[in-house]
A and B are shown apart, each in its own frame.
Chain A
Amino acid sequence: MKRFLAVLLALSLVFTTVACSNDSSDSGENDSGDGEKVLKIAGLNGGYKTEHWEAIAKKFEESHEGVKVELTLEKNISEVLRPQIQAGNVPDIIYLAVGGEGKLTDTLIKEKAIQDIDDVLEMDVPGEDVKVKDKLIDGFTDTLITNPYEDGKTYLAPLFYAPTGLFYNANNFDGKYEMPETWDDFMKLGEEAKGDMALFTYPTTGYFDAFFYALLNETGGPELFNKAMDYDVEAWKSDEAKKAFEIIGDIAKYTHENTVSQANGENFTKNQQLILDNEALFIPNGTWLPGEMKDAPRADGFEWGFSALPKVSEDGDSYSYTFFEQMYIPNDAKNADLAKEFMAYMYSDEAAQIIYDKSGAVQPIKGASDMMSDDDPNKLFYSIYDEGAKAAMGGFASAPPVEGVDLTSGTGILFGTINSVVTGDKTVDEWHGEVVEAVEKISEAKQN
């Protein structure tokens, strides 16, 4: 009997081990079995859809004999990839922005599980006589998003850039109201519009990242912004940083009363609809907003308008945060060299044109905005930097996670608390205090 039980236990142990272990035989390059090399690309099926990825994959296969590109593009790509990565089935390229739902990229950065791509920047763009680094618009590979460890190396490759700022119904500023130049003008407009419509709304608190980063550049300049993004406690305690919190506190007083109820994953488009229905004047967003709401009903004569943030003072600077997405090669990618070739190809004129034609997304390469057709309404949005607005880029540096302290996600301490400021459950001082306390904890963890 004892022997039988021992055999049974041994069997179950073997079964468990086999069922739960990684496939150790799969340590080499991905191979389809018939000699074809397989380049596995996994990414988000987001606002730009997937047609451009499919077209580019096809072009890449044509130019690389014996290579098959296998695409996995899902709306919930984080949830799809997480168990696969845990099981050792790691894609060669992942396209998923920092801060995206599920925070897979953020986790991989924190776990130092991404390869540096400095050699990609030094590669020639396929079919062109120019290096990748010279093709990219200046500044895109010089941010805490692309270089999260501040070690002088680039880890994440920038993709699909778009200015962010305030969207509005241009019709409201055609004689009815005057476009505010400064934040003081903005609040005055809030008083003026009272009874007619609310001054402000936001889709979810997650949209305050771009908004807050641009605002922090306005109140404290790029130097303070960079220090703040590097968890410098004194920078967060400074009067300039506090000013950014106070401006959001002032805006909270003029925020549409239904905003907080609708500021979640299920109902955020109702807040976007407030702009289309002339129930609110401004909403922070990126250039994908008009596309996202293209089928929604709207007020008579509605016309999208877009601006950078108002200035802190008349002689101050107006900023628009440049949102861009990223792709990267995980440490455990099996076809890293091929992945690097694909990355370089993504910055070719041919790929950029395909991307724009199929999705409307614009690559951060020199001359990409010239590809935009004159009748593309997005051209207006991309022109804000030509009209005097300064570009803000980057985000928080990589830091070790601190248990229980979520500072940066959409529902975290820095942005999620804005709901409480709007409802009056928390004061700006309390919010600022909580942020400083969280930054202190993360800063301490970073130094240890």
Chain B
Amino acid sequence: MNNKSLKRFIILCLSPALILFSVFMIYPTFSVFLMSLYKWGGLSSNKLFVGLNNFKILMQDENFIRSFQNTVFLIVVVTIVTLVIAIMFAAILVKENVKGQNFFRVIFYIPNILSVVVISSIFSAIYDPGQGLINSFLSLINGDGFKSIQFLGNQDIVIYSIAGAMIWQAIGYYMVIYMAGMSSIPNQLYESADIEGASKVRQFFKITLPLVWDTIRTSLIFFIISSINLSFLFVKIMTSGGPDGASEVFLSYMYKQAYNNASYGYGMSIGVIVFIFSFLLSGVINKITKRDTLQY
């Protein structure tokens, strides 16, 4: 097969995927960009081209800004806490030869196979100000004078409550990924470090972390993007964005503007911001976490 024929053959093989990708990815994305330039309710053919006006309004929309801040807060807090705990647990389970390692692996992984709806319901029950697990426990300690914590009713703490549920849901999955990465690190490296007198903490930072860095890096980007989607589901089920918008994230705000407020074009402009934000964030994370790959 000559070079030209080979190229044709490759393109022919790729074309079904290219067509599907164009139809189901590129075209809808392009459509969202296009729709964001219109004032449109989403159902009729009655569209008014407004150019970038939707974006101008967005920049002054306090509710959007608040939803953006909440999303960024969730991304930062949930990502950091989840990854730190997942790496820590994975290191303990793999390197400390904890008995029943597989049992813990399964137990920690269970939240990941539960649907977000179920997890949200579980956490709604845990946060219940009347009979919830946390308030009941705290009232046992504090006695009669105890005043329930309004986990989902206090505007100052509701976003932390959402973060708690998201962290719980994600830890197991990432722990299992890191466990797989850590298991494949040759034991000789740790034995040598032991002989050299390196502490466990030093071994973790000098051997474990650098050798699973690529896994962490990949999972970090994946996790950040999935956090944006998951935060919408948690918020929609647990708080509906309330109280009074205190737990709104930008996907829930997009949904409300597109459907509740009949501002489909405006909703799509939020979608464009989400797209650009996710894209840029992935790029930034990719850049700042780039290190030389270590081989073993």
Q: Are B240 and A409 in contact (CB under 8 A)?
A: no
Q: Are A12 and B19 in contact (CB under 8 A)?
A: yes
A402 to B293, CA, bound (A): 52
Q: What is the interface size of chain B, counting residues whose CB is below 8 A from a CB of the partner?
A: 54
Which among A13-21, A289-297, A305-313, A379-387 touches the partner chain? A13-21
Q: Which of A352-407 contact B (CB under 8 A)?
A: 401-406
Q: A12-B22, A411-B242, A411-B245 are in contact. Are A261 and B153 (CB under 8 A)?
A: yes
A82 to B262, CA, bound (A): 12
Chain A residue numbers with a CB within 8 Å of B169 are none
Chain A residue numbers with a CB within 8 Å of B266 are 403-404
A264 CB–B CB distance under 8 Å:
yes
B23 CB–A CB distance under 8 Å:
yes
A238 CB–B CB distance under 8 Å:
no
Chain A residue numbers with a CB within 8 Å of B8 are 1, 4
Which among B127-135, B170-178, B279-287 touches the partner chain? B127-135
Nearest A residue to B44 via CB reads: A111
Nearest A residue to B130 via CB reads: A258
Chain A residue numbers with a CB within 8 Å of B15 are 8
How many chain A residues sit at the interface, stated as a range, is 35 or more
B198 CB–A CB distance under 8 Å:
no
Q: Are B63 and A257 in contact (CB under 8 A)?
A: no
Chain B residue numbers with a CB within 8 Å of A5 are 11
Nearest B residue to A109 via CB reads: B262
Q: A4-B8, A401-B262 are in contact. Are A416 and B242 (CB under 8 A)?
A: yes
A8 to B15, CA, bound (A): 8
Nearest A residue to B64 via CB reads: A404
A42 CB–B CB distance under 8 Å:
no
Nearest A residue to B41 via CB reads: A111
A259 to B243, CA, bound (A): 11
B192 CB–A CB distance under 8 Å:
no
B7 CB–A CB distance under 8 Å:
yes
Q: Are A86 and B43 in contact (CB under 8 A)?
A: yes
Contact string, A96-114, partner B, CB cutoff 8 A, digits 1/0?
A: 0000001110111011110
B180 CB–A CB distance under 8 Å:
no
Chain B residue numbers with a CB within 8 Å of A417 are 244
Q: Are A423 and B57 in contact (CB under 8 A)?
A: no
Q: Are A266 and B237 in contact (CB under 8 A)?
A: yes
Nearest A residue to B60 via CB reads: A404
A64 to B25, CA, bound (A): 46
Chain B residue numbers with a CB within 8 Å of A262 are 128-129, 152-153
A419 CB–B CB distance under 8 Å:
yes
B4 CB–A CB distance under 8 Å:
yes
A263 to B241, CA, bound (A): 11
Q: A1-B7, A111-B262, A260-B153 are in contact. Are A404 and B257 (CB under 8 A)?
A: yes
Q: Are B148 and A265 in contact (CB under 8 A)?
A: no
In the assembled complex, 9 residue pairs joining A and B whose CB atoms fall closer than 8 Å, in A order, are: A15-B19, A15-B23, A108-B43, A113-B43, A264-B238, A266-B120, A401-B263, A412-B261, A423-B155
- Given A103-B260, A419-B242, 12 more A-B residue pairs with CB atoms under 8 Å apart are A16-B22, A19-B23, A106-B260, A257-B129, A260-B150, A264-B239, A267-B128, A401-B263, A404-B57, A412-B261, A416-B244, A425-B244
